Amino acid sequence: MPGKREDGFEDHLEALQRIVDELEGGEGTLEESLERYLDGVKRVKACRDVLGEVERKVHVLQRDAEGNPAEAPFTEEADED
């Protein structure tokens, strides 16, 4: 029996949009609003974590001194070349 799938980036974004809509609607008690807000904070952190992991995985193909393709970590400076 497979375990519960972790929410992905898109899942977190959709949940954040629902949270924002609910909080802007002003319905619910103060405690419910606080609970939704805290859930939103956790989801923002999860999105940042995912984006950070993706950023670490992004690589730019470059050439080494002999002209052979070489993989290097992505940097903004590499993007400007």
Q: Tell me what pLDDT residue 61 has.
A: 61
pLDDT, residue 64, reads 75
Over the chain (81 residues), the average pLDDT of each successive run of 10 is: 72 96 93 96 96 77 75 62 47
User: How much is the pLDDT for 4?
Assistant: 61
Contact 61, 71 (CB under 8 A): yes
Q: What is the pLDDT of residue 81?
A: 47
**Could you tell me the pTM of the whole model?**
0.65
Residue 8: closest CA among 49, 37, 36: 49
| Res 59: pLDDT | 62
Residue 68's pLDDT is 82
**Structure token digits, residue 70:** 């070489």
* pLDDT attached to residue 57: 76
Residue labelled with tokens 């419910």: 32
- Measured CA to CA in angstroms, residue 16 lies from 22, 23, 57, 63 at distances of 10, 10, 25, 42
